[in-house]
């Protein structure tokens, strides 16, 4: 059961709480409204649904950073969808790409380095969508994380810091720029597409022991909100996954894996919850404990960004 009350002035739900009081409703999508009830894992929250496209609508999905952890798990889960999309797994480690290719008949692989030069990265992106013209979704999952202690400035390796910035943020902005001509062409043909960033709960509440990592994820989160708003009038839908601390290789080089393994969300649980959000078509997908942070600090921010865009774009 779901109750939506529309304001006669703004035509947006002003009493969405009414739907939640009815219990735990299913997760319908309303093309005529701005919100759809969904469970974040802790509470029900509105999610803009002006574009109803979901991962299940996609024919060909590129996962950048698919050779380990979250990227590999998401690539395999997407390959397992009943809609049977082609999955293109991209990453640097050829032996892991070869192993992924053995996991399913619709898994293709491409060696891909997000830290390549700007021209090389543009060429790599164009090669992908020229080889796979049906490509209609890309997940940006690649990321690295380093510890930095600014109480000891002499210990800060700026080359390492700048590589982290490029991997987690700058390269994704570049790739989004290079993929958009292809996706906007699909939009002109009436075909929806998805661009999906993977940020972090640390984009919302930073972990001071990894300050640069948190800053890169916060920047990517902000960019994702703006990109979604700018492209809202097209059929290119921009989505974001907020993982919590998840079982992965991300921390192995830090020596913190034994301690963090007592706290992290198992990878299979993360994958299940993230895929549920992708299959619903949620624009924002906070997973596990990240949902608490999203509820406290991010809820409604996307709508405010859209409102700011309208004010900025209004005739002077």
pLDDT at 26 over 80: no
Q: What is the pLDDT of residues 53-69, one digit of tens each?
A: 999 999 999 999 999 99
DSSP state letters, the chain: -----B-TTT-SBS-THHHHHT-S------TTSS---EE-SSSEE----SS---GGG-SEEEEET-SSHHHHHHHHHHHTSTT--EEEEEES-HHHHHHHHTT-TTEEEEE--TTS-HHHHHHHHHHHHHH-TTEEEEEE---------TTSGGG--HHHHHHHHIIIIIHHHHHHHHHHHHHHHHHHTT--EEEEEE--GGGTS--TTSHHHHHHHHHHHHHHHHHHHHTTTSSEEEEEEE--SBSSSTTGGGT-HHHHTTTSBPHHHHHHHHHHHHHHT-SEEE-TTHHHHIIIIITTHHHHHHHHHHHHHS--
Question: pTM for the whole thing?
Answer: 0.83
Q: What is the pLDDT of residues 255-291, one digit of tens each?
A: 666 766 666 799 999 999 999 999 999 999 999 999 9
Inside any domain, residue 223: yes
- Domain interval for residue 217: 53-313
Inside any domain, residue 291: yes
Inside any domain, residue 18: no
Inside any domain, residue 284: yes
Q: Of residues 139 and 249, which shows the higher confidence score?
A: 139
Inside any domain, residue 286: yes
pLDDT at 1 over 70: no
Inside any domain, residue 36: no
Q: What is the pLDDT of residues 208-266, one digit of tens each?
A: 999 999 999 999 999 999 999 999 999 999 999 999 999 876 666 666 667 666 667 99
Inside any domain, residue 29: no
Inside any domain, residue 2: no
Pairing of strands 44-45, 38-39: antiparallel
In this prediction, residue 315 carries a pLDDT of 77
pLDDT at 72 over 70: yes
CATH number at residue 191: 3.40.50.720
The number of domains in the chain is 1
């Amino acid at each position: 059961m779901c109750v939506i009350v529309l304001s006669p002035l703004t035509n947006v739900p002003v009493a969405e709480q009414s739907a939640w009081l009815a219990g735990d409703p299913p997760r319908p999508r309303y093309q005529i409204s701005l919100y759809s009830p969904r469970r974040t894992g802790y509470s029900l929250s509105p999610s803009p649904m002006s574009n109803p496209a979901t991962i299940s609508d996609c024919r060909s999905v590129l996962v950048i950073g698919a050779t380990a952890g979250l990227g590999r798990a998401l690539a395999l889960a997407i390959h397992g969808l009943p809609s049977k999309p082609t999955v293109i797994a991209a990453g640097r480690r050829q032996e892991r790409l070869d192993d992924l290719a053995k996991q399913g008949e619709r898994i293709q692989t491409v060696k891909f380095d997000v830290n390549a030069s700007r021209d090389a990265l543009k060429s790599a992106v164009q090669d992908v969508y020229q080889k796979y013209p049906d490509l209609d979704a890309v997940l940006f999952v690649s990321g690295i994380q380093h510890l930095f202690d600014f109480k000891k400035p002499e210990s800060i390796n700026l080359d390492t810091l700048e590589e982290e910035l490029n991997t987690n943020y700058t390269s994704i902005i570049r790739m989004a720029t290079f993929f958009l001509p292809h996706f906007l062409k699909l939009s002109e043909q009436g075909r929806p597409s998805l661009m999906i960033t993977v940020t972090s709960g640390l984009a919302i509440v930073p972990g001071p022991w990894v300050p640069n990592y948190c800053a890169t994820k916060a920047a990517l989160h902000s960019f994702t909100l703006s990109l979604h708003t700018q492209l809202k009038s097209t059929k290119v839908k921009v989505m974001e996954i907020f993982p919590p601390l998840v079982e992965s290789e991300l921390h192995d080089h830090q020596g913190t894996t034994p301690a963090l393994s007592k706290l992290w969300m198992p990878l299979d649980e993360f994958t299940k919850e993230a895929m549920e959000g992708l299959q619903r078509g949620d624009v924002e997908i906070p997973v596990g404990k990240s949902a608490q942070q999203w509820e406290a600090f991010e809820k409604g921010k996307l709508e405010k960004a859209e409102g700011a865009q309208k004010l900025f774009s209004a005739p002077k």
